[in-house]
Amino acid sequence: MNTPAAETDVDDDLVRRLIRLQHPDLEGPLTLVANGWDNVVYRLGEDLSVRLPRRRAAAGLIVNEQRWLPVLAGHVEVPLPVPVRTGVPGEGYPWPWTIAPWFEGRPAADVPPSGRSGLAVPLAGFMTGLHRPAPPDAPRNPVRGVPLAARDQVVRQRLSSIPRSAGLLPLWERLAALPPWQGPALWLHGDPHPGNLLIGGDGLAAVLDFGDLTGGDPATDLAAAWLVFDEDAREVFRSGVDADETTWERARGWALVMGTALAAHSADNPGMAAVGDHVLHQVTLP
């Protein structure tokens, strides 16, 4: 399955007109850098980025980022894409949009897993700072932070469609049957795959894309242990987070949830397909 089709056309001319109309003091050269599942991202000049939803489902997510990223940035030491300006519908474009800082670096997805070990300590620190009780009005997300059993049907469907998933169903059944999180709903990034982590130098330059931001089971984010790392770096990451054995095993389950999604839905994105392959192998290791 491929990336969902855009529900509105976003091109250089539209973005330029939106900026000129709503934030003329920020006009500058535009460079398209990403056209993903939910958003189109441009670099604006040297220091800024522009993020515009390409599907209606993403419009509410960008509002969540605008509301909550300024709050969450105060809890972590890693740079976040806190909005510099916000945009509203206009020029035929129907949804809110954001201007945020531009961070120099390289997506961790573009680096082999063996080269990501320098992220283990700072990513553990980021999650430790982020994972604090979320308020009652935190964004709701039906597919992140929930009990693993709530994802059972969709994971089974994905496994049945992935040829290389032989033997993973018994593992999933064991993990999905684990006791659910009993603590308070904690703030979650919600989508901690290596495409959302930016490497600068040897460390973590920024954490990106908070569209799945929600409150719930911290095991959701701890799935990064399998999404991002190999065995050795995974142990370093684990030593930096507060996770009992059951939470750690639920995190393995969440890695399966996300890994099957990447493996089943990235036919037109070789980089993300490779992440999916990596995860489906890593979750089988001791």
- Look at phi and psi of residue 197 and say left if phi exceeds 0, alpha if psi is from -120 to 50, else beta: beta
Packing angle between helix 245-264 and helix 270-282, nearest 10 degrees?
140
> What is d(CA 36, CA 262) in angstroms, rounded to the nearest whole number?
13
Say if 5 falls within a structural domain: no
pLDDT at 76 over 80: yes
Query: Tens digit of pLDDT for each residue in 199-214?
Result: 998 799 999 999 999 9
Say if 3 falls within a structural domain: no
User: 137 and 241 share a domain?
Assistant: yes
- Written as one letter, the residue type at 192 is P
> What is d(CA 144, CA 153) in angstroms, rounded to the nearest whole number?
15
User: 189 and 68 share a domain?
Assistant: no
User: 170 and 245 share a domain?
Assistant: yes
User: 73 and 141 share a domain?
Assistant: no
> What is d(CA 246, CA 163) in angstroms, rounded to the nearest whole number?
29
Boundary (domain end) residue, out of 101, 118, 147: 101
User: 97 and 153 share a domain?
Assistant: no
Query: Tens digit of pLDDT for each residue in 153-163?
Result: 999 999 999 98
Residue with tokens 């992935």: 162
Buried b (16+ CB within 10 A) or exposed e, 18-33: bbeebbeebeeebeee
Query: Tens digit of pLDDT for each residue in 147-202?
Result: 999 999 999 999 999 988 888 999 999 999 999 999 999 999 999 999 999 999 87
- Written as one letter, the residue type at 201 is G
> What is d(CA 124, CA 224) in angstroms, rounded to the nearest whole number?
10
pLDDT of 164 reads 80
Say if 207 falls within a structural domain: yes
Cα atoms in the 13 Å half-sphere on the side-chain side of 209 = 21
Percent of the chain at pLDDT above 90?
91
User: 155 and 188 share a domain?
Assistant: yes
Backbone angles phi, psi at 129, to 5 degrees: -70, -35
The 8 Å CB, 24+ separation contacts for 24-32 are 26/85, 26/99
Strands 197-200 and 85-87: unpaired
Number of domains in the chain: 2
Residue with tokens 């320098």: 118
pLDDT of 1 reads 55
pLDDT of 163 reads 86
DSSP annotation of 45:
T
> What is d(CA 226, CA 74) in angstroms, rounded to the nearest whole number?
27
* Residue 54, domain extent: 12-101
pLDDT at 86 over 90: yes
User: 209 and 81 share a domain?
Assistant: no
CB neighbourhood size of 46 (10 A): 9
User: 93 and 133 share a domain?
Assistant: no
Mean pLDDT (the chain) is: 96
User: 173 and 272 share a domain?
Assistant: yes
Q: What is the CA radius of gyration of the chain?
A: 19
Q: What is the mean pLDDT of residues 221-247?
A: 98
Say if 263 falls within a structural domain: yes
Boundary (domain end) residue, out of 101, 129, 158: 101
pLDDT of 201 reads 81
Say if 2 falls within a structural domain: no
Domain CATH number, residue 70: 3.30.200.20
- The predicted model scores a pTM of 0.95
User: 129 and 156 share a domain?
Assistant: yes
User: 167 and 221 share a domain?
Assistant: yes
Say if 26 falls within a structural domain: yes
User: 257 and 184 share a domain?
Assistant: yes
pLDDT at 279 over 90: yes
pLDDT at 3 over 90: no
Domain CATH number, residue 155: 3.90.1200.10
Read off the pLDDT band of 134 (50, 70, 90): very high
Strands 186-188 and 106-107: unpaired
